[in-house]
Amino acid sequence: MNHILVLFDSHTGNTAKMARLVAEGAARIPDTETRLRSLDEATAADVLWCDGLALGSPTNMGLLSWKMKRFWDEAMLEHWMKIDGKIGCAFSSSGGWGGGTELACQSLLTVLVNFGFLVFGVTDYATSLTTLHYGAVTAREPRSEDTQAACRLLGQRLAEWTAVFLHGRAEQHPARKLAERRGPGAA
C-alpha cells in the first residue's frame, strides 16, 4: 500500500485548502492511503509512516513558516539520518503573486533534502498557463481551476513516484501512462 502524508501549516486556512486538494490528487492512484495532517495534530510517527510527503506552508517573508521549521527542528530532529529515501514535494500559499511563493517552496524542499528526502518538481502543465516546477503555488486560497488543478497534480505525481520507486509499480510511471493514452503509433 502506498502511504502518502500531506502535512501543512495554515494560519488563515488557505494552505489547508491546498492540502485537501493535494490529498485528493494522491487518492487518484489506486492502492494509496492518504493522511491529511495539520501541524497541530501531526506527530513524527506520521512522517515515519509515509512513503511520500507533500509539505505545505504559508509563505512567510519568502520562507516556510516558523511553526513548520520548529516541527522539523524539534519533533523530527531525533529521526535525522533514519528516514532517508522517502519522496517529498512542496506547496505554498502567499498573499499575492510575486510574493515569494516559489522561494517558500524551495525552503520547504531544503528542509526535506536535509532529512534525506528525494524531492521533485513537476514539469507538466496542470492547465495551459499553469505549471508547478517548484511545487504547487497560489495567491491566497486556491480559488481558480488552474491552482486547484496544480494542487491535485502535485498529489497525484507524488503518489505516482512513490508507487514507481518505492513499490516497483512501473505501470504508474507518468511517461508510460501518457504513452498508453496516446496509443500505438504516436510520436
Ligand X SMILES: Cc1cc2nc3c(=O)[nH]c(=O)nc-3n(C[C@H](O)[C@H](O)[C@H](O)COP(=O)(O)O)c2cc1C
Residue 58 engages ligand X in binding (rule: CB under 6 A): yes
Please say which residue, 20 or 140, places its beta carbon nearer to ligand X. Answer: 140
Contact criterion met (CB below 8 Å) for 2 and 51: yes
Please say which residue, 40 or 78, places its beta carbon nearer to ligand X. Answer: 40
3-state helix, strand, coil in the chain (%, to 5): 45, 25, 30
Contact criterion met (CB below 8 Å) for 141 and 93: yes
Please say which residue, 66 or 80, places its beta carbon nearer to ligand X. Answer: 66
Which of 170, 178, 156, 179 lies closest to 28 in space, CA to CA? 156
CA 185 vs CA 84, 171, 179, 181, 182: distances in Å: 40, 19, 10, 11, 8
Q: Which of 2, 3, 7, 14 binds ligand X (CB under 6 A)?
A: 14
Residue 25 engages ligand X in binding (rule: CB under 6 A): no
Residue 99 engages ligand X in binding (rule: CB under 6 A): yes
Residue 30 engages ligand X in binding (rule: CB under 6 A): no
How many other C-beta atoms are found inside a 10 Å radius of the C-beta of residue 20?
Answer: 15
The pattern of x and - marking residues 69 through 98 that bind ligand X according to CB under 6 A reads ------------------------xxxx--
Strand ranges (E), 60-128: 87-94, 118-119, 122-127
Residue at shortest CB range from ligand X: 99
Q: Which listed range, 31-39, 52-60, 125-133, 166-174, lies at the site for ligand X (CB under 6 A)?
A: 52-60
Residue 144 engages ligand X in binding (rule: CB under 6 A): no
Query: Which residue ranges make up the site for ligand X (CB under 6 A)?
Result: 10-16, 58-62, 93-96, 99-100, 140
